[in-house]
Structure 1
Amino acid sequence: MNELNQADKTLHSLAQLIALTGMQWLPILADDSQTNMAWNSKLHRLEGRPFVCKGQQVRLVINTTTFTFYFVDDLEQVLASFLPENRTPVDAAAWWKHQMQTWGISEIRAVNYQLDQDPVDPQTVYKPTGLTEWTTWRTIANTALQQLNGWSGRASEVRIWPHHFDTGIYYSQTDANGQEKAAIWAGYAIADALCNEPYFYLSGYNSMQPIDFASAPALSVGEWRTTSDWNGALLPISASKNAESIAVFFQESYSWLDKQLLNR
């Protein structure tokens, strides 16, 4: 578990540069989705959204098999690369900034969020610890959330968000005027104050009336948590016996929460 948590910190740190790349090259959207990224389970890499540079489609990716950070074009040609092992976040940021300057970006636009703390100390070197297990769990998360999309009949991109570094989906419910009135979100989160290991989660809100999460029936897998900071369903990975148990967790928690929203 310590190695998996360390891998999350390492990749969370490097992912900030993918988020920054989106801020420089892509339109700024209301949900900040220009900063998020996908986990490509076939190529074993984190991929930022593509942008156009010098007439070609480019994206910044992190390959977890080779532990390499690089810009690649749409023909999979590597345009610039950085090897993070035994280098620091300061080194990575300097490499990234040099590449931005090479491509004509002189003033860096900051992201629209602030981390509580650096995932990796700026002067601590990166190590490829726990990346194989990290790859396994993010692939499981992708599959589980895609299955929830299909099972629920809703559609949402499965994306990794750079702020909390969770793999997540978001289902919005709107009123007749197109304004959001309720939402359900689900995903896979890194260890935090809520749980000391990575975990699956599902939660939501209704703008008309608070949801009484304390009244939710017990889940076959996982549990409902009600705290001053967070309300929803939670399943630590240590309690995730197999893919079927994760699917049951999402289906049961989603079914109950969706009924609460439909009945309002």
Structure 2
Amino acid sequence: MTTPETMIGTVSPQALTESRLQLHYAVQYIAATGAALAEPLPDHSHTSFGWNPALEAFVGSTIPATQPFQVAVEPISLTLILVADQNDTIASLPLHGKTMREGLDWLQQALAKLGADASKIVFLDYPPNDFPDHPLAHDAAFDASPGFALRELADTYIITDQLLQTIITTNENASAIHIWPHHLDIATLITLPDTKNGHPLTVGIGFSPGDASYPEPYWYVSPYPYPDIANLPTLEGQAFWHTQHWVGAVLRSSQLSENATAETQQQQVGTFLNAALNASITLLKSEASAGV
């Protein structure tokens, strides 16, 4: 397992939030292309993307065209990339200093050369008040500085992707790992063989770079149907149960050991995810069997 390059928690919350919003808008090019040109899937995962360790970038679905391609975003420099087979770069555009519209114009022109109907690509609409507003939505230009904040964000996705890859190899009912454009969270969903009131028992495991629940990065493990909060077991370390609007075990980035190395931070996150997963499975099965 590759150790991340930087410690988590070294960047100020303000800088990290701004970089997170820049990244959140940058990946909308991946989602828009997937929504317009990829084969539609019932769970909308054709608009999602994954982490590509070889490219060190977020990479979307393969799009059929005269020359098949994928749309990618390199997070540290906020560079929009078109990728062919074998991770070969077809074309790229640094988004720094460009507006969302300028990036879309470039993307449409570049994809038309590959034989794709690029006129179909439009940015996704999200429910009102459910996607972060930002000057980028109002013709401001991308700003890829400070790079160290984007580097820390990238490392959190690298850490989480590696840990989730391990989890899905040991849980046969785990979904593929997706990064979702709506909330920029990376997650897998484990479906258990039991049901509760006709609903399948599931556990979502993932990472959010920050949202309305917590303005800082955090890892979560969420059992569903949501269990009775009176039955929630004690979690070890600094982890706790979130119970407002959704129920899940949470470990915030600020709760990672201050004196740890990058490697021990990764181990701390892995210990949390696995312990919370086991606790969630036990809790769901217990309530289902008891008819709670």
SS of the aligned residue for 1:86 comes to coil
SS of the aligned residue for 1:50 comes to coil
AA in 1 matched with 2:155: T
AA in 2 matched with 1:131: L
Partner of 2:118: 105
Pairing partner for 2:243 from 205, 217, 226: 226
AA in 2 matched with 1:212: D
Question: How far has the Cα of 1:66 moved from its partner?
Answer: 4.5
RMSD (Å), alpha carbons: 2.4
> Does the 8 Å contact 2:23/2:78 carry over to 1?
no
Task: Pick the structure with more strand per residue.
Answer: 1
> Does the 8 Å contact 2:183/2:211 carry over to 1?
no
Partner of 2:24: 12
Alignment CA distance shift 1:157-1:231 (3 Å) = same
Question: How far has the Cα of 1:252 moved from its partner?
Answer: 2.0
AA in 1 matched with 2:108: K
> Does the 8 Å contact 2:189/2:205 carry over to 1?
yes
Greater mean deviation of Cα atoms: 19-28 or 61-70: 61-70
Partner of 1:116: 131
Partner of 1:254: 277
Cα deviations by residue, 1:180-201 (Å, 9 ceiling, x for unpaired): 5221101000212211201001
1:59 lines up with 2:70 in the alignment: yes
AA in 1 matched with 2:159: I
1:30 lines up with 2:53 in the alignment: no
> Does the 8 Å contact 1:172/1:180 carry over to 2?
no
Alignment CA distance shift 1:108-1:72 (3 Å) = closer
SS of the aligned residue for 2:160 comes to helix
How many pairs align?
A: 257
Greater mean deviation of Cα atoms: 7-16 or 76-85: 76-85
SS of the aligned residue for 2:270 comes to helix
Pairing partner for 2:201 from 182, 194, 198: 182
Question: Where in structure 1 are there 5+ consecutive unaligned residues?
Answer: none
CA distance in 2, matches of 1:154, 1:174: 9
Cα deviations by residue, 1:41-98 (Å, 9 ceiling, x for unpaired): 34211111112210x3310111235432121211444333222111122221222233
Question: Under a length normalisation based on structure 1, what TM-score does the superposition of the two structures give?
Answer: 0.87
1:41 lines up with 2:53 in the alignment: yes
Question: Where in structure 2 are there 5+ consecutive unaligned residues?
Answer: 1-12, 258-264
% same residue: 25
Pairing partner for 1:198 from 217, 228, 231: 217
Question: How far has the Cα of 1:216 moved from its partner?
Answer: 1.3
Question: Under a length normalisation based on structure 2, what TM-score does the superposition of the two structures give?
Answer: 0.79
Greater mean deviation of Cα atoms: 242-251 or 142-151: 142-151
